């Protein structure tokens, strides 16, 4: 198979991020709290603001986008703790190493941004994502939170669990969890 390249997108690449993000929401509505119909309406200004808020990493094969992940700390109130979120790989590329490459790039970026831990909130019934994050080194925690998946609202709340990846020599766990 061809090589996987992972690229950090800058603000000017907002439409590339928008396109892959909307594909992710459309293809895996149950995996994300956000909904495709809502985000499809966002204007350029809003996408540009999103690019500034967090790091957006795009995975490509032969110049074609095949996956995406975001990393940032704007939602976190604890020094040195960032969040990994919005992870998606197109179905045909799953199990081929794209997700691993995305997380390697995200962890490298997080270290460069002086983060010590990455928190990943993932659906408790998203077995594949939990298994993947575990194999990458994310550790389970007993933190849970309810989530309402707007794209597929069947009236029932789902639950997410926090997993934590220590970066570098970090020890212990974030105290905010
Ligand atoms: C989550 C995601 C990025 C993982 O990427 P991937 O390429 O599928 O991951 P991998 O195939 O490398 O790893 C998945 C692991 O889970 C295992 N697995 C597959 N289905 C599983 C299931 N239903 N339950 C438990 N484990 C499962 C696989 O065997 C594999 O483990 P292995 O490497 O030890 O064999 C991808 O599946 C995806 O985009 N899913 C839809 C969107 C999503 O759920 N995103 C996460 C929410 S933020």
| Residue 85: per-residue pLDDT | 97
User: In the structure, how many helices (H) and strands (E) does the chain have?
Assistant: 5, 7
Q: Is residue 174 part of a domain?
A: no
Minimum mean pLDDT among 2-16, 36-50, 142-156, 157-171: which range?
142-156
Residue 171 lies in a domain: no
Helical ranges in the chain per DSSP H = 14-27, 36-39, 44-53, 98-112, 127-136
Task: Give the domain range for residue 65.
Answer: 4-166
Q: What is the pLDDT of residue 150?
A: 64
133 touches 120 (CB < 8 A): yes
Higher pLDDT, 170 or 12: 12
Centroid of ligand 1 to alpha carbon of 68 (angstroms): 14
Is residue 172 included in any domain, yes or no? no
Is 175 part of a structural domain of the chain? no
Q: Is 87 in the pocket of ligand 1 (CB under 6 A)?
A: yes
124 within domain boundaries: yes
CATH number for the domain harbouring residue 130:
3.40.630.30
CB 161 within 8 A of CB 141: yes
Please name which of 28, 72, 83 lies closest in space to residue 50, comparing C-alpha atoms.
72
In a domain, 177, yes or no: no
Cα dist. 116→28, 72, 73, 75, 86 in Å?
30, 12, 11, 15, 20
Q: Is residue 121 part of a domain?
A: yes
In the predicted model, what is the mean pLDDT of residues 121-149? 94
Ligand 1 centroid – CA 135 distance (Å): 10
Closest Cα to atom 44 of ligand 1: 31
pTM for this prediction: 0.95
Domain presence at residue 98: yes
Average pLDDT over residues 22-30: 97
| Nearest-5° Cα angle at 150, 145 to 155 | 80
Looking at the 3D structure of the chain, how many domains does it have? 1
């Amino acid at each position: 198979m061809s090589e996987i390249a992972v690229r950090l997108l800058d603000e000017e690449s907002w439409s590339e991020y928008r396109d892959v993000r909307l594909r992710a929401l459309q293809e895996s509505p149950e995996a994300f709290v956000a909904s495709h119909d809502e985000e499809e309406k966002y204007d350029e200004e809003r996408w540009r603001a999103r690019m500034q808020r967090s790091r957006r990493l795009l995975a490509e094969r032969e110049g074609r986008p095949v996956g995406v992940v975001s990393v940032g700390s704007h939602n976190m109130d604890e020094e040195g703790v960032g969040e990994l979120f919005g992870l998606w790989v197109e179905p045909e590329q799953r199990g081929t190493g794209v997700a691993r490459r995305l997380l390697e790039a995200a962890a490298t970026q997080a270290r460069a941004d002086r983060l010590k831990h990455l928190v990943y909130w993932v659906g408790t019934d998203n077995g594949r994502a939990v298994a993947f994050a575990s194999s990458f080194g994310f550790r389970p925690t007993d933190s849970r939170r309810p989530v309402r998946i707007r794209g597929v609202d069947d009236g029932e709340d789902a639950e997410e669990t926090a997993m934590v990846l220590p970066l570098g020599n970090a020890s212990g766990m974030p105290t905010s969890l």
